[in-house]
Amino acid sequence: MLPDVNPALLEFCQPWLAGEPRLLLACQFAPAGRGREQFLAVNVLMRELAQSVIAVSERRVAEARLAWWAEEAQAWAAGHPRHPLAHGFADLGQGQPVAGLVAASVDWLMAAAPEQSQALSERLTALAAASDSLHPGAAAWRLPWLALALRLTLGATTPLTNVLPLDLWARHGLKRSQWPELAHLQRRELMAEVAQGLDLESAATADPAMTVLQYLEARWLASAKRWRSEGDRLSPLDVFGAWRAARRSR
């Protein structure tokens, strides 16, 4: 699936890669070896943390999971890594900033629901900055974070953390408590409005993997009203476009 990746790291990441073809394809454009391991590890850590914030059933469970990740981050920083993802951050050495991404996720969980799109945009900026400390990308991480948050929200029976701005709910005459009752199409329409309102653009980067990830996530966000409930697949046009995007970034 991904050559030149530590077997333990790859085994842990396999469930995410199997369900997210965009991430798998983007990883193919990362430098073989340490570069690919780091790119994969930070993306999977983002997913593990975002899942805790959005897609678990109870707040106390989310808090416990994030506390566990904070302990893992402390172990990594102390030079005693225990988790397979640590293989992806080996080059960062002691004092690695994994704890910063965990802390940003805790802040996200504790924060009030965004009143307007601007508040959501600021949250994405904070998360992107924390991801940048693990794998350079800065503003380029905003698109992947938005797509990840919306995908997890789409699939959650009752999202623990509200990603959709409160003014969006009000405009549609809906309450957050009605989410479980909404049809898949109506959920997609709400999230399409969020994506269109933010109108994020791909950030320039010389990193082919980051360029491809942004390209694929931007295409996914642009087609929000057509998101499928039965699965996630890439088209030949997605793959060809990713290849062209990677070539332009070099």
Which residues, at least 6 apart from 231, have a Cβ–Cβ distance to it below 8 Å? none
At 202, which amino acid appears? S
At 133, which amino acid appears? S
12 confidence band (pLDDT: 50, 70, 90) = very high
Neighbours of 175 (CB within 10 A): 9
pLDDT for 90: 80
Among 58-67, 84-93, 127-136, which stretch is predicted with the lowest mean pLDDT? 84-93
Structure token digits, residue 82: 């225990």
- 7-249 CATH, one of 1.10.10.10, 3.30.110.30, 3.40.50.720, 1.10.600.10: 1.10.600.10
Mean local confidence (pLDDT), 82-104: 84
CA distance 215 to 202: 7
Mean local confidence (pLDDT), 107-126: 95
Q: Angle at CA 10, nearest 5°, toward 221 and 227?
A: 20
CA distance 69 to 71: 5
230 confidence band (pLDDT: 50, 70, 90) = very low
Mean local confidence (pLDDT), 83-104: 84
pLDDT for 21: 94
In this predicted model, what pLDDT tens digit does every residue of 130-171 receive, in sequence order? 999 999 988 999 999 999 999 999 989 999 998 999 999 999
| pLDDT at 94 exceeding the cut of 80 | no
User: Chain-wide mean pLDDT for the chain?
Assistant: 91
DSSP characters over the chain: --SSS-HHHHHHHHHHHHH-HHHHHHHHTSPTTHHHHHHHHHHHHHHHHHHHHHSSS-HHHHHHHHHHHHHHHHHHHTT---SGGGGGGGGG-TT-THHHHHHHHHHHHHSPPPSSHHHHHHHHHHHHHHHHTTSS-GGGGHHHHHHHHHHHHHH-SS-SS--S-HHHHHHTT--GGGGGGS-HHHHHHHHHHHHHHH---PPP-S-HHHHHHHHHHHHHHHTGGG--SS-----HHHHHHHHHHHHHH-
- Model-level pTM? 0.95
Enumerate the domain spans of the chain. 7-249
In this predicted model, what pLDDT tens digit does every residue of 189-219 receive, in sequence order? 999 999 999 989 999 999 999 999 999 999 9
Mean local confidence (pLDDT), 77-106: 85
| pLDDT at 35 exceeding the cut of 90 | yes
Neighbours of 1 (CB within 10 A): 11
- Residue 138 near residue 129 (C-beta atoms within 8 A): yes
